[in-house]
Structure 1
Amino acid sequence: MTQIHPTALVDPSAELDDSVSVGPYTIVGPHVKIGAGTSIGAHCVIEGRTTIGAHNRIFQFNSIGAVPQDKKYAGEPTELIIGNHNTIREFCTFNLGVPGAGGRTTVGDHNWIMAYTHIAHDCHVANHTTLANNTTLAGHVLLADWVTVGGLTGIHQFVSVGAHAMIGFASAVTQDVPPYMLVDGNPLAVRGLNTVGLRRRDFSAARIAAIKQMHRLLYRQGLTLDAARAGIDALATETPEAAEDVALMSRFLSAATRGIAR
């Protein structure tokens, strides 16, 4: 049966799987849905139209599904959707979306989200990310799979961070960060590749070599962005094993809206 502490306030309309546990003094609102095996710690507030998947561990003192910090929001029925197998540590704040931007904030699966992280309205966090303490995502931020963000880092609204990128400690991220890159600082600078992360994920030597060449084309040869993109596209033929990596980079550069981090 659902394990709800006697001091918790769970609205009768909330939908909780029988295996969900809810800690002392936690409040769960009427539009909340929580999947199998998820545990909610003490003193949390989970409200709004929030859907939480299976086998998440949400520690004490979190605010999940509160209205967005956007003056235009007027109580519309927007959403927060959290996937499966996420760890959410203390004092995090995840907000609902706003209508003009799709009305949905999403967090995927297998994310490791440390204390005091803020995920604002209409952010989309993919899978297997690591967000260290005091990571702050402004509205409309996109984090792709396997992104790592260092502590005390702020990411500007509408910024996209590509898959396998790593952002160092106390950085100010105001431009899009291409996949695979290692960046840090204020102002932000590209320091190289996230080579350690790629090796941990079993990227082959050929794939890493092709990614290094993409880095050289973008940052080391003085090329225009269009010329660098042409050189990157050619790598798919030169290194077929890295064709998917090249395609990922090409798609990211084509979609970048804030300019890329240099």
Structure 2
Amino acid sequence: MAIHASAQIHPSAVIEEGAVIGANCQIGPFCLVGPEVTLGEGVVMKSHAIITGWTDIGDECELYPFTNIGDIPQDKKFGGERTRLIVGKRNRIREGVTMNTGTEGGGGLTTVGDDGLFLANSHVAHDCQVGDRVIMVNSSALAGHCIVGDDVIIGGLSGVHQFVRLGRGAIIGAVTMVTNDVIPYGLVQAPRGRLDGLNLVGLKRRGVAKSDITALRAALQALKQGEGASFQDRARRLGESDDIDSDYVREIVAFVLGDSDRSYLTPE
């Protein structure tokens, strides 16, 4: 066990032998830190938070009461193999959030990027890859093996099916079930997840140039057209067009033509 001298640990907290506690960590009442856990500098665990498993928590993360981070996968195929969870820096992980380690069949690793906000009772399942600045609103859930790009927002009470990819900057409305891949910057809503346009609010907030937004609008329209052609064929045709002069559009084309275990939500 390695506990930095500057760490503040409540007498009722349990720090198991083997844990590594970084400088200026604050561990509150009745917390548990498992034997294979590494906490970066300035991590704050409020009362009753649990971090277990082979888990790394990045600098300046905040964990609120009753979080359970790094426990075993909720997967019947899991056979007790040693797998891992890595959480990046400055994440705010609110009450009741769960994040699980990976499975041998899924690569053995769950990852969460930097600067995320995970609101109460949200869930990151085994083998997920979650990017930077992701927001998961209350009681939203990622099933296993999901890939979530940077700057994605997942609305409250929404669920994402296993193996689904959510492209960078996409937004999922509240109370939505997402069963297919979502293109970068897509706007998805309705109970069974319909691609309903672009995340224009998010694009404008990030200062994306008007010319790029115009190009994205035109690209979405092009992806709607082409009766009889598959969605990938439309994307391929869009990528081959001489009119493309936007990296944002190229990103959508690359996403659609990339490897996936699911089909796509397509514009209507």
**TM-score under structure 1 normalisation?**
0.95
The yes-or-no answer on 1:256 pairing with 2:260 is yes
Match of 1:210 in 2: 215
Say which SS state the counterpart of residue 181 (structure 2) adopts.
coil
Does the aligned pair in 2 maintain the 1:217–1:231 contact within 8 Å? Answer: no
The partner residue of 1:61 within 53, 66, 73 is: 66
Distance across 2 between alignment mates of 1:93 and 1:226 = 35
Q: Closer, same or farther in 2 for the Cα pair 1:203/1:73, shift >3 Å?
A: same
Question: How many equivalent pairs are there?
Answer: 259
Deviation at 1:224, TM superposition (A): 3.3
Deviation at 1:226, TM superposition (A): 3.8
Match of 1:24 in 2: 29
**TM-score under structure 2 normalisation?**
0.93
Distance across 2 between alignment mates of 1:257 and 1:100 = 15
Deviation at 1:230, TM superposition (A): 3.1
2:37 maps to a residue whose letter is V
The yes-or-no answer on 1:86 pairing with 2:91 is yes
Say which SS state the counterpart of residue 213 (structure 2) adopts.
helix
Does the aligned pair in 1 maintain the 2:232–2:256 contact within 8 Å? Answer: no
Does the aligned pair in 1 maintain the 2:236–2:253 contact within 8 Å? Answer: no
Deviation at 1:231, TM superposition (A): 3.7
The yes-or-no answer on 1:95 pairing with 2:100 is yes
Match of 2:3 in 1: none
Match of 1:198 in 2: 203
Question: For structure 1, which runs of at least 5 residues remain unmatched after alignment?
Answer: none
The yes-or-no answer on 1:52 pairing with 2:57 is yes
Distance across 2 between alignment mates of 1:193 and 1:220 = 16
Instruction: Map residues 1-262 of structure 1 onto 2, 5 A cutoff.
Output: 1-219=6-224, 222=227, 224-234=230-240, 237-240=242-245, 242=246, 244-254=247-257, 255-262=259-266
Question: For structure 2, which runs of at least 5 residues remain unmatched after alignment?
Answer: 1-5
Say which SS state the counterpart of residue 238 (structure 1) adopts.
coil
Write out per-residue CA displacement over residues 223-246 of structure 1, whole angstroms, 9 at most, x where no aligned residue: 5324421342145x4243x1x223
Say which SS state the counterpart of residue 259 (structure 1) adopts.
coil
- The structure in which a higher percent of residues are helix is 1
1:141 maps to a residue whose letter is C
Distance across 1 between alignment mates of 2:219 and 2:253 = 10
